[in-house]
Amino acid sequence: MDDSTKTQAVSDAVASLYNTYPFPPEPFLDEAPPGYNWRWYWPTVHSFCTGVVPASGSVRVLDAGCGTGVSTEYISHLNPEAEVLGIDLSERAIATATERCRRSGATNVQFRQISIYDVDQVEGEFDWINCVGVIHHLPDPLKGLRALATKLAPGGLIHLFVYAAIGRWEISLMQRAIALVQGNQRGDYRDGVQVGRQIFASLPEGNRLKQRERDRWAMENHRDECFADMYVHPQEVDYTLDSLFDLVEASGLEFVGFSNPQVWQLDRLLDNDPALLKRAQQLSEKDQYRLVELLDPEITHFEWFLARPPYAPISWDNDGDLLAAIPTRNPCMEGWPSQSIFDHNYQIISLDAQEFELLQGCDRNHHLGADQSPTSVAALIAQVGASLQDLRQLHQRQLILLQPSQRIASI
């Protein structure tokens, strides 16, 4: 079997799985979906990757491997000025996604049943690509990533998510066990789900695979669609940190950073021994990441941003630039206005009186009338009696977004 024939066979098998079990199996809504995911909101994506809010919300977005359109629906509603396209291999998934967005009133989105490998058939380039939980299911992930890279506009951003080998070790074992029992019935996904559930039920109490499923995955896997996606998928590539960076390097794109950076902080693992932590923090950045990977086998996936050059983020190290910038409150939070809120990661945080007052000032910039001038960082910290470092910390915590003063002057 040559490479093209093999690729087509795997693609057909993946499409068959998702035609049998469309994924994710979220219910339809007759209104915009609730809540937020900052990775699906262009201003926060752009701010995280570049340090500044984008000049415009009128962007082209590709949801590559959109499945049943859960992410596409969110992207559409959170970014009403965007032009959104969702693509997927599965006919049934595309039909579900189309109906989902019709029901919720998402009008700035279209769908096409097409492989990522054939994305060159789509006209034009995209400012932002969302590709979550997809390329690890391709027979050639690098080929798929390179195909997406050709559709990314200069300076464009792509968010990716792939499985981590260490954290999914028990899942991998069960996948292989189910395939062995299925034998020549492999590819019958309903039989695979039944076999998998029978195996889990039959394993003795205390069995590591059974315990891991019960402790970590059982709540979501009570739905057959989720169980099938996890345990009977016909194609999966799990990554180590080293193989992940090999993929990134070969893609021709630039690594921006993990979109869950808090996971990759050594202090959450070694904070009990300050001397050891200091020693570990002297490692190179990638070696620090490798150490986290080895010390935390609960990491089940990697999620990160890549950019197509030219990519020139703003660090805000220059005090003058920061003082002149215009700050606004990150809308990805719940409970506002209050000193106890859910932040962009849905973590409860408590704001002290000064932080709350700073955020109030940033919030006023977001609601200015046409005849009103925005408040700069310099003016805001003077009003509140805060320091520039206080403002920097709010930005680092993604509680505020920043706009360069030069952009205001050019409008």
Spans of the chain, pLDDT less than 50:
408-411
Domain boundary among 307, 333, 360: 307
**Which residues share a beta bridge with 326?**
403
Q: Is residue 281 part of a domain?
A: yes
Burial-class residue 5 by CB neighbours within 10 Å (0-12, 13-18, 19+): exposed
Residue 314, domain member (yes or no):
no
CA atoms within 13 A on the CB side of 133: 14
CA 54 to chain centre: 18
- How far are the Cα atoms of 129, 174, 233, 247, 251 from residue 140, in angstroms, in the given order? 19, 23, 15, 11, 12
Residue 411's pLDDT is 37
Same-domain pairing of 158 and 278: yes
> Is 268 in the same domain as 324?
no
Report residue 234: phi and psi, to 5°. Answer: -75, -10
Burial class (CB in 10 A: 0-12, 13-18, 19+), 248: middle
CATH number for the domain spanning 41: value is 3.40.50.150
Residue 206 is assigned to a structural domain of this protein: yes
Quote the Cα angle for 250-156-79, to 5°.
Answer: 135
Closest residue by Cα to residue 209 from 171, 164, 180:
171
pLDDT of residue 253: 98
Q: Which domain, by its residues, includes 176?
A: 172-231
> pTM (2 decimals)?
0.95
Burial of 381 (0-12, 13-18, 19+ CB in 10 A): buried
Tell me the three-class secondary structure of 121-181, residue by residue.
HCCCCEEEEEEECCHHHCCCHHHHHHHHHCCEEEEEEEEEEEEECCCCHHHHHHHHHHHHH
Does residue 313 lie in a domain region? no
State both tokens at 334. Answer: 């719940």
Residues 6+ apart with CB under 8 A from 303: 39, 132, 159, 160, 161, 258, 259, 260
Residues 6+ apart with CB under 8 A from 267: 277
Shared domain check, 140 and 63: yes
pLDDT attached to residue 225: 98
Picking from 45, 124, 46, 130, the residue whose alpha carbon sits closest to that of residue 407 is 46
Same domain for 204 and 255: no
Amino acid letter, 308: R
Q: Residue 13: how many CB atoms within 10 A of its CB? A: 16
Same domain, 124 and 27: yes
Residue spans of beta strands (DSSP E) within 269-395: 301-307, 326-329, 340-342, 348-350
Do residues 48 and 89 both lie within one domain?
Answer: yes
Give the end of a domain, one of 211, 231, 251.
231
Looking at the fold, whether 130 and 269 belong to one and the same domain comes out as yes
Domain boundary among 180, 208, 231: 231
Strands 400-403 and 348-350: unpaired
Report if residue 378 sits inside a domain: yes
Nearest to 192 by CA among 226, 221, 231, 220: 231
Total of domains in the chain: 3
Asked whether residue 375 is domain-assigned, the answer is: yes
In terms of domains, do 117 and 72 share one? yes
Do residues 14 and 147 both lie within one domain?
yes
Whether residues 144 and 39 share a domain: the answer is yes
The pLDDT, as a whole number, for residue 410 is 40
Check residue 407 and give its pLDDT.
57
Shared-domain flag, residues 141 and 184: no
Distance CA 255, CA 275 (A): 30
Residue of 75, 79, 32 whose CA lies nearest to 53: 79
Residues 129 and 16 occupy one common structural domain: yes
Place of tokens 């609601």: 367
- 10 Å CB burial of residue 354 (0-12, 13-18, 19+) is middle
